[in-house]
Amino acid sequence: MPDRTTAPLGGPPIVAGFHDEPTGSVQYVVADPETKRCAIIDPVLDFDPKSGATATRSADALLAHLEREGYALAWILDTHPHADHFSAAGYLHDRTGAPTAIGEKVVAVQTLWKGLYNLPDTVRTDGSQWSRLFADGERFRIGNLEAEVMFTPGHTLASIAYRIGDAAFIHDTLFMPDSGTARADFPGGDAHALWRSIQRILALPDGTRLFTGHDYRPGGRAAAWESTVAQQRAENLHLVDTPGEEAFVRMREARDRGLPMPRLILHALQVNIRGGRLPEPEANGRRYLKIPLDALAGAAWGE
């Protein structure tokens, strides 16, 4: 019998990717061609750090796509609490009533970052901000499509990938082959765990379509987000150059020491551990973000 995580999950979904230029993030609409039921994966809530303005243009564009295609929204899925953009999961849930979901290890990320921000007890760390917390190997349906959850930590404590039909949505574990792999130096990250998660993804069938969570357009090329297991195994520059775990970890940790933190990490995590919801308004009716000083000791300075 084939291993559960490598067994085929049925026919191909229809996948549409939406690249968010300011953050390099890729949002997805994944649809069952038979029933027109769909899921949204890793939606973006727009935020301008210079003015503090928020907007829903990116999320509304996803809803407009659903309307044009005649899709019915079954799920709003996060792969992990993001460090480089705000999640629009809460907004989309309020607009549509569709359930939200993330991996069950999010509670560890909530606890870690609640402590860093010194947030009040009203900010819960039980994952109840989402409709459902997925365990590793758990399966669910999007219309007639079967989806499976894969626990893929390393980039964060809570990272998961979603296998849906012949596709896998692998967030920030592998980038496009010319971009390499995700960093593993965020609080709770681990390069050894990242290596093992990558190997789990590469154990999927060669033709599995892989959809990454970001593309930073190396060399100025057009944004891209789809590859295959076979392409990644043969071409990913970080894996070709470091074929073993210890070599990979040395490379990853050396690279990470020189990388400045994402410009929105301290803005985004306090929103994303709340399921993509902004902090509650204070007495004057305004919402405020909290920026802890010197909390990320040893981080490289940005430009």
Q: Is residue 9 part of a domain?
A: no
Q: Is residue 6 part of a domain?
A: no
Residue 1's pLDDT band (cuts 50, 70, 90): very low
Mean pLDDT of the 65-71 span: 98
Q: Is residue 145 part of a domain?
A: yes
What is the domain count for the chain? 1
- The residue to which tokens 């020491």 are assigned: 257
Which residues, in sequence order, are CB contacts of 50 under 8 Å at separation 6+?
none
DSSP class of 264: T
The answer to whether residues 43 and 27 touch, using CB atoms and an 8 Å cutoff, is yes
151-172 residue pLDDT tens: 999 999 999 999 999 999 999 9
24-57 residue pLDDT tens: 999 999 999 999 999 999 999 999 999 999 999 9
Q: Is residue 286 part of a domain?
A: no
Rounded CA gap, 24 and 171, in Å? 12
- Please state, in angstroms and as integers, the Cα–Cα distance from residue 232 to each residue in 60, 222, 225, 235, following that order: 32, 19, 12, 5
Q: Is residue 160 part of a domain?
A: yes
DSSP class of 85: S
Q: Is residue 292 part of a domain?
A: no
- The residue to which tokens 């692998």 are assigned: 170
Mean pLDDT of the 272-290 span: 97
Which residues, in sequence order, are CB contacts of 96 under 8 Å at separation 6+?
63, 73, 76
Rounded CA gap, 229 and 124, in Å? 38
Q: Is residue 291 part of a domain?
A: no
Residue 243's pLDDT band (cuts 50, 70, 90): confident
Look at residues 142, 190, 138 and name the one whose alpha carbon lies nearest to residue 33: 142
Going edge to edge, which strands form the sheet with 167-169?
139-142, 145-151, 160-164, 167-169, 209-211, 226-228
CATH code for the domain of 114: 3.60.15.10
- Please state, in angstroms and as integers, the Cα–Cα distance from residue 28 to each residue in 45, 77, 113, 125, following that order: 14, 10, 26, 27
pLDDT, position 302: 72
- Please state, in angstroms and as integers, the Cα–Cα distance from residue 247 to each residue in 173, 187, 236, 238, 241, following that order: 17, 22, 15, 10, 9
Domain that holds residue 164: 14-272
Q: Is residue 192 part of a domain?
A: yes
Length of the chain: 303
Secondary-structure breakdown of the chain: helix, strand, coil percentages, each rounded to the nearest 5? 25, 25, 50
pLDDT, position 110: 97
pTM: 0.95
200-240 residue pLDDT tens: 999 999 999 999 999 999 999 999 999 999 999 999 999 99
pLDDT, position 2: 38
The answer to whether residues 173 and 252 touch, using CB atoms and an 8 Å cutoff, is no
